[in-house]
Structure formats: C-alpha cells, structure tokens
Structure 1
Amino acid sequence: MPRNPSDKRERLTAAAIRLARTQGLEATTIAAIAAEADVPSGSVYYYFKTKDDVASAIVDGIAAALASQGADHANGSDARDALTAFLSSYLDDTDTTVQYGTVLSAAARVGSGAAHAQVLGWLAERFEDLGFAASAASARAQHLLAGVEGGAALASALGDAQPLEREVAHLTRWVANAKA
C-alpha cells in the first residue's frame, strides 16, 4: 500500500535523526536519508536543500519528540512521577544509547543546544511544581540532566549500560527524597 505523501517530511526527519544518531551528521548523506525513509533521492531535496537544512530538521524533530515525551510524562501524573518517568525513559533505549549515545547527544553533535534548553525548562518546571524556587528548580534540573546524560555518555564510552542504570537509580532516589 502506498504511503501518504503528507508524512514524507516526518519520515525524512525521522530517518535523518536515526542516521545522525547512529553514524553522525557528517556521514549522513541525502541518499542514505532517502533510503532509510524509503523515498526517491530526488524528492529529499524538496525538503532539505543543504546539510544545514538536514541539521535543522534533526534539531526540530528531536525537540518535537522531547516535547511530546514531556507531555506524556506530565499527563495525569504529579511532578515527582513525571521526573521519575523521564529518568526511566533513559532505560527504554539502553542498547541504542550504549552504542550511539542519547538523542540529546545527537542534537548536540549537530550543533544545537536548543533541545537541551527545552528539556532543562521542562525539568525546572517539574521541580517548581514540587515547591522549589525558580533558581533552585533550575539548579536541580541542571543536576538531573547532567547526571543522566553523563551516565549515558559513560555507558556509551565503556560499551556497558551499568553506569547509566546506576545513575538512573541514584537520581530516581534523589527525586523521591527531594523536599523544597
């Protein structure tokens, strides 16, 4: 059955994210994006005229996925549960993270901190919901993200999920005991 042409940009963006995460943006070609998305190579140029357009689409796609994930974590749960779900989500993709790093690290490799800023803002809001003042909530958000991303980076560098698993467990306890 033919695919809906209206989802072509989304398929191309998803393919570009997967390829940038697994092989790096430098090695990601238009032909590889087209093959990954199962579209003709020529039609990729309609959406992405330059490598910068691909990088922008990757950052925008990661930001949209993170926003959706954040909404899912916050939907119907209290702030502590949302933070715990955020941390647990790092374990949902452990094999890929160990091999290639996190989606946030992929966003950083294409040269944007926008996704990190978005996640930090969401985390700070959750800490504010727990009663922390804005500056304390921001500091806690930075600590949590640095910890889990650092655990993921170490897991990837060592080729072993244990540093990430331990950091998620530690930060989950830290969130459970957080008092404003």
Structure 2
Amino acid sequence: MPRPASDKRERLTEAAITLARAHGLEATTLAAIATEAGVAQGSVYYYFKTKADVAQAVADGVAESLASARSTLGPEPTDALVGFLGAYVDDAAAICAHGSLLATASAGTGSDRAHREAIDWLAERFGDLGFAAEAARARAVHLLAGIEGGAALAHALNDLSPLEREATHLGRWVANASA
C-alpha cells in the first residue's frame, strides 16, 4: 500500500530557510532543521542526504518566494520596479540575509536560479519601458546589484539605512528612466 503524501519536505525546507536566514547556512545543522520542522531527525536524512541538498532546497525555496512576491507587483512597469525595491525594504530582516544566503546556497549547489529569474523579470519590466534588450538587461543587473549591495551592507552593519538609501536612490533612477 503506498504511503500517504506528506508535507514533510516543505516543512523541512521552510525550517532550513528560517534557520539559514537567522544563523547562516553554514551554522544550520540537520538536527536543528528537524527540531524546527517538528519531525524526527531521520526524516531530514530521507529528504536531504547532504548539506548540499539542504543548500539546494534553500536556494530553490528562496527563489520561489521571491518569484511569488514579484507576481503581486502589478502590470505597470515603473510601479512594478519601484514595488520590487520596496519589497526589499519591507522585508528587510529577511532580505538583508538574502544576498549572503543566496550566495552561500548558490556556491554549494551551482544554483543561481533566484538571481537569474529576478534579472529576467527586471529586464522584462525595463523592456516594457522601451529599452532595447541589451540595455534592459544591463539596467536589470544594475538595479539588482544595487539593492542587494545595500541589503548586504545593511546586514553587515546591522543598520537598515544603507538599504533604505539605496532603495530610494534606485527608485528615483527608475522613475526617471526613459528609453
């Protein structure tokens, strides 16, 4: 008889993301993931054989979360781009860790999904503003690098003002964008 479907993998992934955001991926142990998810430690090993499997799950989970957030930003490109920046500030506690969390998770897995999807989405919005594909992509990379740099600095200094200033600056840059 087949086993019933379980949400254990999702709970374990969410626990891994929560712990990695709070303590960093390197400090996140399989035992801590099991405790956070409320499952037996052996369950973790069933779903995640190695720390690289955990890193991949964290990177994929964060990518899905960011994609979901982008889907709520609306169709008007300038508003969507400014909304993207605002999401970084609004979710600052988690986002401040995203840059280093994604970089760490990506380094362990080769997964750059979250960054590539964000750049593609941003480039589409700049394309909607009339920029040619190459210029739209260059602007997308600039915007993502700027906001993630602000987030990384805010996290390192334990001070949100670098992130807030960068989001404000990039928001003005987007508002004044013309192809």
SS in 2 for 1:123: helix
Partner Cα separation in structure 1 for residue 120 and residue 94 of structure 2: 25
2:88 match = 90
2:100 match = 105
Per-residue displacement from partner, 1:113-148 (whole Å, max 9, x unpaired)?
321111111111111111110000011001101111
Q: TM-score, normalised by structure 2?
A: 0.89
Paired residues, number: 172
8 Å CA contact retained: 2:99, 2:152: no
8 Å CA contact retained: 1:87, 1:172: yes
Structure 1 residue identity aligned to 2:157: L
Structure 2 residue identity aligned to 1:105: S
Partner Cα separation in structure 2 for residue 153 and residue 51 of structure 1: 24
Matched ranges for 1:2-151 at <5 A: 6-73=6-73, 76-97=74-95, 101-110=96-105, 111=107, 112-151=111-150
Per-residue displacement from partner, 1:58-111 (whole Å, max 9, x unpaired)?
1111111122112122xx4311111111100011122445xxx33243111121
Moved over 3 A (4+): none
8 Å CA contact retained: 1:147, 1:167: yes
Partner Cα separation in structure 2 for residue 56 and residue 115 of structure 1: 11
Q: Sequence identity, in percent?
A: 62
Structure 1 residue identity aligned to 2:119: L
Distance apart, 1:25 and its partner CA? 2.0
Partner Cα separation in structure 1 for residue 154 and residue 160 of structure 2: 5
Structure 2 segments unaligned to the other structure (5+ residues): none
Partner Cα separation in structure 1 for residue 94 and residue 114 of structure 2: 19
8 Å CA contact retained: 2:19, 2:28: yes
8 Å CA contact retained: 1:127, 1:141: yes
Distance apart, 1:33 and its partner CA? 0.4
Partner Cα separation in structure 2 for residue 6 and residue 79 of structure 1: 39
Q: TM-score, normalised by structure 1?
A: 0.88
